[in-house]
Amino acid sequence: SISSSRSRSSSLLPPGTVNSASPSGQKHMNQSGPTVVTITHHKSPAAARRAKSQRSGQLHEVREIMSQAEGQQKNLVQAIEALPNSGPLTALDQDLLLLKATSAATLSCLGECLSLLQQSMHQVGQQHNRTLSSEGILGWPGPKSHSTEELKNGALSSLSSASANITWAIVPSAAQDAQALQPNTEHSASELILVEDEMTDTEDNEEEDLGVMDDQRSVILHLISQLKLGMDLTRVVLPTFILEKRSLLEMYANFMAHPDLFLSIAAGATPEERIICFVEYYLTAFHEGRKGAVAKKPYNPIIGETFHCSWDVPKDKVKAFRTNGASTASKDSAKELGQDQSTCYKLRFVAEQVSHHPPVSCFYCECKEKKMCVNAHVWTKSKFMGMSIGVSMVGEGVLHLLEHEEEYVFTLPSAYARSILTIPWVELGGKVNINCARTGYSATVTFHTKPFYGGKVHRVTAEVKHNPTNTIVCKAQGEWNGTLEFTYSNGDTKVIDTTKLPVIRKKIRPIANQGPLESRRLWQHVTNSLKEGNIDAATEHKHRLEERQRAEERQRAALTTPWKPKYFAKEGDGWLYVNPLWKT
Checking if the pLDDT of 18 tops 50, the result is no
Checking if the pLDDT of 488 tops 60, the result is yes
Q: Is 522 helix (H, G, I), strand (E, B) or coil?
A: helix
CA distance 132 to 137: 7
32-41, 55-64, 175-184: which range is least confident on average? Answer: 32-41
439 — pLDDT class (breaks 50, 70, 90): very high
Calculate ∠ Cα 462-463-465, nearest 5°.
155
**Cα of 300 vs its chain's centroid, Å:** 13
CA distance 288 to 159: 19
Give the per-residue pLDDT at 368. 93
CA distances from 166 to 20, 223, 296, 499 (A): 22, 20, 9, 19
**Cα of 289 vs its chain's centroid, Å:** 10
CA distance 64 to 44: 11
Give the per-residue pLDDT at 522. 94
Checking if the pLDDT of 341 tops 70, the result is no
Give the per-residue pLDDT at 196. 66
205 — pLDDT class (breaks 50, 70, 90): low
Give the per-residue pLDDT at 55. 54
Helix (H) or strand (E) holding 511: none
Asked whether the beta carbons of 100 and 80 are under 8 A apart, the reply is yes
List all residues 6 or more positions away from 322 whose beta carbon is below 8 Å from its beta carbon.
273
**Cα of 431 vs its chain's centroid, Å:** 13
Q: Which own/partner pairs from 186-189 qualify as long-range (CB within 8 Å, at least 24 positions apart)? A: 188/579, 189/350, 189/566, 189/567, 189/578, 189/579
CA distance 494 to 190: 40
189 against 362, higher pLDDT: 362
Calculate ∠ Cα 435-440-441, nearest 5°.
55
CA distance 39 to 461: 41
CA distance 172 to 183: 23
Checking if the pLDDT of 178 tops 50, the result is no
Tens digits of residue pLDDT in 553-579: 888 888 888 889 999 999 998 999 999
445 against 415, higher pLDDT: 445
Read out DSSP for 356-379? TTTTEEEEEEEETTTTEEEEEEEE
Taking residues 248-275, what's their average pLDDT? 91
218 — pLDDT class (breaks 50, 70, 90): low
Tens digits of residue pLDDT in 223-238: 676 677 777 766 666 6
Checking if the pLDDT of 185 tops 50, the result is no
Nearest to 145 by CA among 312, 21, 309, 303: 21
Percent residues over pLDDT 90 in the chain: 30
CA distance 461 to 283: 9
Q: Is 535 helix (H, G, I), strand (E, B) or coil?
A: helix
Tens digits of residue pLDDT in 315-337: 888 887 654 433 333 333 334 44
Taking residues 194-213, what's their average pLDDT? 63
Give the per-residue pLDDT at 336. 41
Checking if the pLDDT of 533 tops 50, the result is yes
86-90, 210-214, 456-460, 497-501: which range is least confident on average? Answer: 210-214
Give the per-residue pLDDT at 306. 95
Checking if the pLDDT of 181 tops 60, the result is no
CA distance 241 to 368: 41
List all residues 6 or more positions away from 487 whose beta carbon is below 8 Å from its beta carbon.
474, 475, 476, 493
